[in-house]
Amino acid sequence: MENINWAELPFGYFKTDYNVRSYFKNGKWSELDVCTDEAITMHMAATCLHYGQQAFEGLKAFRGIDGKIRMFRLEENAKRLAHSAHGVMMEPVPLDLFMEACKKAVKLNEKFVPPHGTGAALYLRPLLIGTGEQVGVRPATEYTFIVFVCPVGPYFKTGFKPVKMQIVRDYDRAAPLGTGTYKVGGNYAASLQASVRSQTEGFASVLFLDAKEKRYIDEAGPANFFAIKGNEYITPRSHSILRSITNMSLRELAADMGLTVVERPIAVEELADFDEAGACGTAAVITPIGEIVDREERISYKFGEEGVAGKVATELYNRLRAIQKGEIEDKFNWNTIIE
């Protein structure tokens, strides 16, 4: 294996040795197939290509301070993929098969798990696609499930430092009764124009509002939004945002720290009252937000001291990362240790 500069890894694709696959055909899932090929061969009329029958997950494995490899919240990712599969009428991957595939992919590529203390992790991408052919708009009868892995660095190059985000009103990520709660590629495709424009205008990411009223905070680009106000951890309640496993974990940690956890609609004008703001997800864990600019209204909201992450967000980040890396007790039983 080539020498890898673990501390300088980007968040991007990195070729590893193996991926694992299972195929749903004739009403049942196959045994896991270990593969070295990075390509997928499928019928040109596969439903994933024409009708968006596709869903995916993202989770991480860490080399702990004790040398053991830990996967974070594996079962919750399995449940969420099944939820997404039901949402776009795909055959869900059985929980046991999902967990076995992830464990196998990590074990086979163990040499790519970054050493403890480098700030890097092994990212797992489970992917479920409709590979059965259809020309009419209907679900496929065949599906392919793949898990591949990549060592990755921080999602944002700035690391754990406050970023600027931009509220947009001329784009929607997802409709209130649409696919927003599912981790499907169409939601990300729908966000690209707004996201790329915001990045060219100097922002780290875009902040979408609800599609119905354009009044409430929805998704923070590829992540969930949260805010701190006094002793409260506040995060949006919406029918069009993804159920973030990181956000779920932070809510439990916040409650354990003595904060009151509040899930409710968050109006844009409330941003002026928050002490801290952040985005959270698997890729970045927590990204502190230093400033939010409303593109249309030309209003700016700033949080805390410039260039410094808030105290509560920092504590949440440090606690979550310490659990992932085995540095403190995992009293929530979130980690799956690879034997």
Catalytic residue ranges: 183
Beta-strand ranges (E) seen in the chain are: 19-25, 28-29, 33-35, 54-56, 59-63, 69-72, 121-130, 143-152, 163-168, 205-208, 219-220, 223-229, 232-235, 260-263, 276-281, 285-294, 299-302, 335-338
> Do 326 and 66 form a contact (C-beta atoms < 8 A)?
yes
Cβ neighbours of 300 (radius 10 Å) = 11
Name residues whose C-beta falls within 8 Å of residue 251's C-beta, 6 or more positions apart in sequence. 233, 235, 261, 263
Residue type at 35?
C
Say if residues 146 and 21 touch (Cβ distance below 8 Å).
yes
> Which class for 231: exposed (0-12), middle (13-18), buried (19 or more C-beta within 10 A)?
exposed
- List b or e across 236-251, with b for residues whose CB sees 16 or more CB atoms inside 10 angstroms: bebebbbebbbbbbbb
Residues 24, 235: Cα–Cα separation, whole Å: 37
Among left, alpha and beta (phi > 0; psi -120 to 50; other), residue 52 is: left
SS3 16: coil
Distance of CA 48 to the CA centre of its chain: 21
Q: Which of 227, 243, 244 is nearest to 235 (CA)?
A: 227
| Residues 155, 112 contacting (CB under 8 angstroms) | no
Helix (H, G, I), strand (E, B) or coil at 24: strand
